[in-house]
Amino acid sequence: MKIGVRCKPHDSIAMQLRLEQVSRQEGAEVHLYPFNLLLEPGSLTVLLGATQAGKTSMLRVLAGLDVPSKGSIWVDGRDVTGMAVRLRDVAMVYQQFINYPSMTVAQNIASPLKLSGRLEATAIDRRVREIAQRLQIEPFLNRLPAALSGGQQQRVALARALAKSASLMLLDEPLVNLDYKLREELRDEFATLFSGGGSTVVYATTEPAEALLLGGYTAVIDAGELLQYGPTADVFHQPKSIRVARAFSDPPINLIPAEALTDGVGLGRDYVLNLRIPLDRLPAGGRGLMLGIRAGALDLLAQPLKSGVLAVPAKVALAEVSGSDTYIHLETPLGNLVVQRTGVHPFDLGDSVTVGIDPAEVYLFDAHGDLVFAPERAARRAALTRRTH
């Protein structure tokens, strides 16, 4: 009983994957706390979390490389918990590009097709060329992997996974070892490659920006716990908790201890943000709150002030320049804050600036770290993107 045999290998049918109360532990060590997850056929899911968060453990369970300690895994309505990985129709791409060193690029790409024995030599040839062309490695088909650059080698590994046209494709930080221009290029290609819907795709990354660029769905994972799952833009704009907001912000989300007052939200000893929130909605009378505002939503103020924006004096600790953005690290009476500005802006260490906190951009979390208030516009915009897709 092989999943996916009903289709020709070059037009696979994406699988629906359902995980029910799946957990995994080894001895006393918990790798994954119980979670449920439903991946629709042809969907792209980004698994977002820091190093050691449990992304690879989850991928291994999805692949069938590891058996869950508890819970069950269903493919297209069939229980496959415990089924051997070779019986599943899965392709996996790892961080370290793995190619057969003694085979040419063409032989590498063809190897899963030959193993399956489902295609004739001429058909395999055609398929290899087609994929090589898509990944722009056609000129190197007769070379050995060692003669290629790192980026080209990773493309070969990717081409091999695509050649298999598995109904489930798992990628574990596939770009992490490449330089950033190559990552940019391959990421763009991914978006096109995955949009075909031939495979259900799960893509693990530590980078929030990568999740946003890939779109689709995002599952945020931290310390072995699946914290939130949903359309990527929704998870970004409506994080359920501080932990999700932290995992899904780079630079880190600015967090400021806050307190609900009758005339707004108190920050530090001296500042009140003009944000009216119904106190009865808040537990513990609105004490012990945490205000969150992302770096891109903070602004350095020029006169005059937009009404309602809270101005806080600050000193520049460092301006980091990424090439498209400048991240300005600030020391303020409310603690250290980071502001993101589009473009390249020189600052000297110690420059005095004013940072503006716009009430329309802030999140509030309660003493447990759960979201109690999110900016309205963000939610509206998230809805808009979904429509346009």
Partner 1 sequence: MARIQLDIAHSYRANPQQEADYALLPLRQTFEDGGAYALLGPSGCGKTTMLNIISGLVNPSQGTVRFDERDVTQLAPQQRNIAQVFQFPVVYDTMTVAQNLAFPLRNRGMNEAGVRARVSVIAEMLDLSGQLDQRAAGLSADQKQKISLGRGLVREDVGAVLFDEPLTVIDPHLKWQLRRKLKEIHRELRLTLIYVTHDQVEALTFADSVLVMARGRVVQSGSPSDLFERPAHRFVGHFIGSPGMNFVPIQLLKSTSGARVQGGAAVATIVPSQTMTLGIRPEYLRLGPIDEPGVLRARISRIQDLGSSWLLSARVDSQPAGGEECLLRVRLERSSAVPAEDEVVGLRILGPHTCFYDAQDQRIAPDQEGAARC
- The footprint of partner 1 (CB under 8 A) covers 149, 179-181, 184, 191, 208-209, 212-213, 215, 232-233, 236-237, 294-297, 317-324, 327, 329, 340, 342-346, 349, 377, 381-382, 384-385, 388-389
Q: What are the tokens at 267?
A: 């920050």
Least separation in angstroms between residue 213's CB and partner 1 is 6
Least separation in angstroms between residue 279's CB and partner 1 is 29
Buried b (16+ CB within 10 A) or exposed e, 78-101: eebbebeeeebbbbbbbbebbbee
- The CB-side HSE value for 20 (13 A sphere, CA atoms) comes to 9
CA–CA separation, 16 and 24 (whole Å): 21
Least separation in angstroms between residue 158's CB and partner 1 is 20
Least separation in angstroms between residue 303's CB and partner 1 is 20
- The CB-side HSE value for 56 (13 A sphere, CA atoms) comes to 9
Q: Return the number of the residue (185 or 259) whose C-beta is nearest partner 1.
A: 185
Q: Return the number of the residue (16 or 326) whose C-beta is nearest partner 1.
A: 326
Do the Cβ atoms of 203 and 212 come closer than 8 Å?
A: no
Least separation in angstroms between residue 277's CB and partner 1 is 22
- SS3 call for 241: strand
CA–CA separation, 336 and 256 (whole Å): 9
Least separation in angstroms between residue 156's CB and partner 1 is 18
Peptide bond into 208 cis (omega under 30): no
Q: Return the number of the residue (284 or 318) whose C-beta is nearest partner 1.
A: 318
Q: Return the number of the residue (227 or 295) whose C-beta is nearest partner 1.
A: 295
| Phi then psi dihedrals of residue 46, to 5 deg | -95, 130
Q: Return the number of the residue (47 or 319) whose C-beta is nearest partner 1.
A: 319
- SS3 call for 92: strand
Do the Cβ atoms of 290 and 242 come closer than 8 Å?
A: yes
Q: Return the number of the residue (102 or 195) whose C-beta is nearest partner 1.
A: 195
Least separation in angstroms between residue 382's CB and partner 1 is 7
Q: Return the number of the residue (67 or 318) whose C-beta is nearest partner 1.
A: 318
CA–CA separation, 188 and 182 (whole Å): 10
CA–CA separation, 218 and 235 (whole Å): 7
